[in-house]
Structure 1
Amino acid sequence: MNLVFRRKNGPSRRQFLVQTGCSAMGITSMVNTLAHLKLMQGALNAQSPGSGYRALVCVFLNGGNDSNNMLIPYSGTARTDYQNGRGMLTIPTNNANAALNVLPINATNVAACDPLGGYLGTFGVHPKLTHIKTLFDAGDAAFISGVGTLTYPGITRASYPTAPKPPQLYSHSDQQVQWQSSIPDRPFTSGWGGRIADLLDPVHNPSSGNASMSVSIAGVNSFQVSPTGVVAPYVMTSSGVVSFAGYGTNYASAVTNPGILFQASNYKTGEQGRRLQAFENILQMTHASLMENAYNGVAMNARMTEGMVGSALQVTAGSTSTTSTLDSYFTNAFAGSGYNVNNDFTNQMKLVARLIAGRAALGNNRQIFFVQQGGYDTHIAQIPSGSNTAGHTGLMNNLNCTLKGFADALKGAEVGNMWDNVTAFTASDFTRTFTANKTDATAGSDHAWGGHALVMGGSVKGARVYGKFPVLKLGNSGDPNTIDATGSSGRWIPSISVDQYASVLARWLGVGDSALDDIFPNLSRFVTIPNIISGNMDFLSA
């Protein structure tokens, strides 16, 4: 399907960058404006667009994933501490009910992530992460341990009361924003995904007719908010594009061919066709006011992106297309799980796979996707008896099967064998308390701090655990090595900042070392860039 774009007196990308930067000076602080201009200048100075396709997929586990039961000590002193502290949330390594057994994984660098030396034996994963175990052991997935929101490094249990910390720790809304902004000690202005998009979009996606580099299939989020407004995220649902209302399904009542935009002959002669033509004529006008232009630009970009996204999905739509094959990868991954493959999170990931398959219609060499799996606020019944679909057990089951289906789809010819070109990574509000909040089967866990994240893709240096695994000693244990922040419930102080974790992902997508401090202004507090490249956080191949 061909797309036709005709804009009346529309600003060029360079003009829009300059206009947005100038208008920003009147509504933001000078510090933020200078940072924004540095990002724009780096983009404008690029001599040529990048080649090849790469995409990041942020999988946000909304509600606070209890990653204490995602990556689990399988043996050693850490295993003993796990059994002594988890209470009703303990997953045994040897139990008559095999469905509850921890699955051992073949981590190749246990010593590098050992916090004390000799503390760790071997690792395992949640019993429902069968496919993740296979991906990990094959070198296609890795865990990042002890990551969380930090303003400065070096916080200990002793210094916790007075040390500078992210505000409103253990708050869902605050920690979600701070994870997605990476700058917890400043008022929110943008997300780190949005800042990456602002920098890379003019370099790697130079066409004036391409779709937005940032696509959310899970609603509005902080992660993709642009500091300049240059790359406005396109928001859709797991059902597909969200069209302007009043013109029929896929604009069937207003246009002859929904894949052709802004062409006079394509509008139908009826009332709906005339109304859409008038509306889109207004969108294409240039206004004297930069604010009016920016307001108009939101609707204009949404309409243009909608058309391109629709065309990308059209590549995998229809009875003779690859849709059924792509769906089969997910259906097969769910076989025997007891979980319904037709759920919102899985449908989000299916849509990402379809958009990657139809990437030529989007016109981008770099893409950032945002998806979300909800339900992780597991204060009660975290390990429901005999259920594969409820509690944290069900969440891990769904995550496991969905990521397996996504991986298989990316490896398939229908998507173009894009496994090496896509990296999916998890993030969450926080992990949860190590101790259970009850002593019976209704036990759950409460809000905590640092935890574990998962990355997967063909470029991942897998079968490894990066960062430092926490010492699983509660605050009342008297052990000087405990990193239990306060009290004795197991709120682990992070050892890796969001900045460090995210900067590796940014470098892989194409952010140069000299621009990392612009994207992550707090990064230099934690580690120098050479240490990220050569140290034990280098979890992605160039």
Structure 2
Amino acid sequence: MKISRRAFIKTSSAVAVASAFSRVAQANASITPDDYKALVVVFLNGGNDAFNTVLPAPGTAEWKAYRKVRGTVALGRKEIFNSQCKGIYPSSSGSVLSLDDLYLNKHLVALKPYFKKGDASIILNSGPLIQPTDRNNYDYVAKPKQLHSHNSQRKYWYHGMDVVNKNGWIGRILDNFDLEGSSARALSPSFGIPSINALRGDRYNPIAYKASTKSSEVGVKQNQLEGYKGADRLKESYEEHLNKRKRHYSNLYSRTVSESMRDSEFNNARLKELTGDYSDPDDLEYDDSDMIANFESVIALMKANRENAKGDLGYERQVFFINMGGFDTHGNMKERHPELLTTLAEGLDYFLKKLEDENLMKNVVTTTMSDFGRRLSPNDNGTDHGWGGHQLVFTHRDNFMYPNTAVGVWPEVGKKGRNVTDTQRVIPTVCSDQVNATVSRWLGCNEEQLNTVFPELKNFDDVMIEGSEFTFDELVVPRPEVAYTDDGGETMTEPHPLYWDFLKS
């Protein structure tokens, strides 16, 4: 279904790889914003075990099903805490829903204050989908290719369901914006830390970089070359391509690499200066935390952008895509997963506090994404690749359409649950493009632009549980009234049309 025109959505760092900063001539940018908004994506590389991150309330039927199917990796009541975010729970018939608390892994406890204030929410069971899918139609509906493969599923999160497009969905969204003075700026409005796949577009070339910690260095490190026979030649080649600026290479590859390295080094110095100027000297104790270093550089670039430091920035929109690795927990999950969640929570807590300090919470949406969730049944002490998973979202509570209420429906799992395959992989109930379209609408895109970037949206309607007549029970989560002006100029109201829209404009 098309997104209704009346749908109301409360709408550095060391450069690690060569990055191009030239602007390509843009076609048809039509949005000229006059406010500041930023999107921050934290991509949990490897496939986060979402079902040991967000959990059903103890004592519910869903909790019993969770404990049974998770076996050796199941968490107990003392290993979770109440998020105070309500979730919609289905019945086996799909006709009656109930509302109950959702719980979080105790290693995310640093995020508890944001959930308590309503500055955080949960997107339940999202993932790549071509059309609504469940156990009943699984064998004959179109499904994403190479399910459960890291590279294939990341492509859907990076590019949207339109994976044949060489550009990322965020890059294609930014292509619609005519950002003030962008043609004269030296730096980009989008930054990948370090991946830029989702950010590639035709108008703004993203910058890929790796945030610096106190102990990090730029360039070729001697300890990385120990034992390598060609170490001396590699270092010599690196220095030659970087420093011999007047040398003209006859070989196109060498010439391109040399130019890219020089551009990268030049802009590395610029980014390092910018992030250094706007970093908080009181944060020195965090200097060896990679995640906090990433968020520190994001905050610094936001502050530099606000003041248009050295004329390099000054954009009305910024996007940051942070990669955090290590989530492919095939083994040793009970030890490794808590460490990862602790690192994630500490980084997000640091970042959100800084946003509050800078009075930017209303201007920034931060969301997690991941390749996929994990398979529900364990493989002894770990979990294999799955499909659907839960995501966390953070912004000021005034931006949420349903404060303190999760988006979507808790999946029906169990042995023959409608949202699980025979191999205990959870089938998403919210398409990843629905999530991406919501944040894109918040950034300022209109219906036509969203349907161009996310053509598969037309396959999804407002049925919360596919196959049932149920759409949205106002006794469970009342839909807010949406005001709009009809063709005669009269102001009208109607219920919010799409349950999966979770942000206001």
Q: Give the shorter-chain TM-score range.
A: 0.7 to 0.9
Show CA shifts across 1:5-48 (max 9, x none): xxxxxx996xx42xxxxxxxxxxxxxxxxxxxxxx5430x55xx
Show CA shifts across 1:32-89 (max 9, x none): xxxxxxxx5430x55xx32222111110000000100111011311111112211112
- Displacement of 1:210 in angstroms is 4.4
Match of 1:315 among 277, 280, 293: 277
Show CA shifts across 1:439-496 (max 9, x none): xxxx111111011011102254242210121012124xxxxx4221233xx2111111
Match of 1:179 among 116, 133, 157: 157
Match of 1:486 among 412, 417, 422: 422
Match of 2:432 among 498, 515, 519: 498
In structure 2, how many angstroms separate the alpha carbons of the residues matched to 1:179 and 1:491? 18
- Name the stretch that deviates more: 459-468 or 304-313: 304-313
Task: Give matches, 1:215-234, under 5 Å.
Answer: 215-218=191-194, 220-226=195-201, 228=202, 230-234=203-207
- Displacement of 1:343 in angstroms is 2.9
Contact 2:51 2:374 in 1 (8 A): yes
Matched, 1:474 2:415: yes
In structure 1, how many angstroms separate the alpha carbons of the residues matched to 2:22 and 2:74? 58
Task: Give matches, 1:191-270, under 5 Å.
Answer: 191-200=168-177, 202-204=178-180, 206-218=182-194, 220-226=195-201, 228=202, 230-239=203-212
- Displacement of 1:165 in angstroms is 0.5
Match of 2:502 in 1: 539
- Displacement of 1:112 in angstroms is 9.3
Match of 2:63 in 1: 79
Matched, 1:42 2:21: no
Taking structure 2 as the reference length, the TM-score comes to 0.74
Match of 2:281 in 1: 324
- Displacement of 1:188 in angstroms is 4.8
Contact 1:485 1:493 in 2 (8 A): yes
Structure 1 residues not aligned, in runs of 5+: 1-10, 18-39, 246-271, 283-293, 317-321, 332-340, 385-390, 476-480
Match of 2:41 in 1: 58
SS at match of 1:522: helix
User: 1:315 corresponds to which letter in structure 2?
Assistant: D
Structure with more of its chain in strand, by fraction: 2
Contact 2:89 2:410 in 1 (8 A): no
SS at match of 2:343: helix
Q: CA RMSD in A?
A: 3.6
Taking structure 1 as the reference length, the TM-score comes to 0.70
In structure 2, how many angstroms separate the alpha carbons of the residues matched to 1:198 and 1:310? 27
In structure 1, how many angstroms separate the alpha carbons of the residues matched to 2:446 and 2:261? 32
SS at match of 1:426: strand
Match of 1:410 in 2: 355
In structure 2, how many angstroms separate the alpha carbons of the residues matched to 1:12 and 1:79? 53
User: 2:367 corresponds to which letter in structure 1?
Assistant: F
Match of 1:434 in 2: 376
Structure 2 residues not aligned, in runs of 5+: 1-20, 221-239, 249-255, 463-481, 483-493
Match of 1:90 in 2: 74
- Displacement of 1:121 in angstroms is 3.7
- Displacement of 1:160 in angstroms is 1.5
Task: Give matches, 1:22-33, under 5 Å.
Answer: none
Question: Would the alpha carbon gap of residues 120 and 437 (structure 1) be closer, same or farther in structure 2, given more than 3 Å must change?
Answer: farther
Matched, 1:464 2:439: no
Matched, 1:350 2:296: yes
In structure 1, how many angstroms separate the alpha carbons of the residues matched to 2:316 and 2:244? 31
- Displacement of 1:315 in angstroms is 2.3
- Displacement of 1:302 in angstroms is 5.0
Contact 1:204 1:366 in 2 (8 A): no
In structure 2, how many angstroms separate the alpha carbons of the residues matched to 1:305 and 1:409? 25
User: 2:149 corresponds to which letter in structure 1?
Assistant: S
Question: Would the alpha carbon gap of residues 535 and 116 (structure 1) be closer, same or farther in structure 2, given more than 3 Å must change?
Answer: same
Matched, 1:149 2:91: no
Alignment length (residue pairs): 423
Contact 2:48 2:371 in 1 (8 A): yes
In structure 1, how many angstroms separate the alpha carbons of the residues matched to 2:68 and 2:504? 38
SS at match of 2:151: helix
